[in-house]
Structure 1
Amino acid sequence: MDWKAIEIIIKREAEDAVTNILYEAGLKGTAIESVENLIAVQDDPTINYFDQKILDFDPNISKITGYLPDDNDFNQKLDQIEHDIAQIRQFGLDPGDYQINVSSVKEEDWATAWQAFYKPTKIGDRVVIVPIWENYEPSGEEVVIKMDPGMAFGTGTHETTQLCTRALDKYVKDSDCVYDVGCGSGILSIIAAKLGAAKVIGVDVDPVAVDAAVADVQLNDLQDKVEIKEGDLLDVIPKDQQADLIVSNILAEVIIRLIDSIRMYLKEDGLFISSGIIEKYVDDVKNSLIAHGFEILEVDNQGEWYAVIAKKQGE
Structure 2
Amino acid sequence: MPWLELSLTIRSSDQDHVELALEEAGALAVTLLDAEVDTPNERAILEPGVGETPMWGEIELSALFDVDADRIGLVHLLTDLMPDIAPEQIRFRDVEDQDWVRAWMDQFQPMQFGRRLWIYPSNIEPPTDDPDAVIVRLDPGLAFGTGTHPTTALCLQWLDEADLAGKTVIDYGCGSGVLAIAALKLGAARVIGIDNDPQALLASRDNAERNDVADRLDLHLPDDFTSAPADLLIANILAGPLADLAPRFAECLHAKAPIALSGILVGQEHELLQRYADAFDDLVVTTQDDWVRISGRRR
Q: TM-score normalised to the size of structure 1?
A: 0.70
Question: Aligned equivalents of 2:273 and 2:182: distance in 1?
Answer: 25
**From 220, 237, 243, the counterpart of 2:225:** 237
After superposition, the Cα gap between the structure-2 partners of 1:36 and 1:297, relative to the gap in structure 1 and judged at 3 Å, is farther
Instruction: Give runs of aligned pairs for residues 146-225 of structure 1, distance below 5 A.
Output: 146-225=137-216
Shift of 1:245: 0.7
Contact 2:164–2:183 at 8 Å: present in 1 too? no
Report the alpha carbon displacement of residue 147 of structure 1 after superposing the two structures with TM.
0.6
Which of structures 1 and 2 has the bigger CA Rg?
Answer: 2
The worse-fitting range, judged by mean Cα deviation, of 111-120 and 282-291 is 111-120
The answer for the alignment partner of 2:271 in structure 1 is 284
Q: Using the alignment, how far apart are the partners of 2:114 and 2:236 within structure 1?
A: 17
1:128 aligns with 2:118: yes
Counting matched residue pairs gives 260
1:1-315 → structure 2 map (5 Å cutoff): 2=3, 4-8=5-9, 34=37, 64=60, 66-69=62-65, 102-106=91-95, 108-109=97-98, 110-138=100-128, 139-229=130-220, 231-232=221-222, 235-239=223-227, 241-291=228-278, 293-313=279-299
Shift of 1:184: 0.5
Q: 2:267 aligns to what SS in structure 1?
A: helix
Residue equivalent to 1:46: none
Paired amino acid for 2:271: D
Give CA deviations for 1:42-66 in whole Å, capped at 9, x if unaligned: xxxxxxxxxxxxxxxxxx9987555
For the aligned residue pairs, the C-alpha RMSD in angstroms reads 3.6
Moved over 2 A (4+): 1-10, 25-39, 60-72, 100-107, 109-113, 148-153
Q: Is the 8 A contact 1:126 1:143 kept in 2?
A: yes
Q: What is the distance in 2 between the residues matched to 1:219 and 1:116?
A: 19
Structure 1: which 5+ runs fail to align?
A: 40-59, 84-99
Flag the structure with higher helix content.
1
CA–CA distance in 1 between the matches of 2:30 and 2:271?
Answer: 36
Q: Could you list the per-position Cα deviations for residues 99-134 of structure 1 after superposition, in whole angstroms to 9, with x for gaps in the alignment?
A: x85535547242354123211111121111111111
Deviations 1:82-111 (A, max 9, x none): 99xxxxxxxxxxxxxxxx855355472423
Structure 2 unaligned blocks of 5 or more: 43-55, 83-88
Give the Cα–Cα distance (whole angstroms) in 2 for the partners of residues 297 and 196 of structure 1.
Answer: 24
Distance in 1 between the 2:39 and 2:283 partners?
27
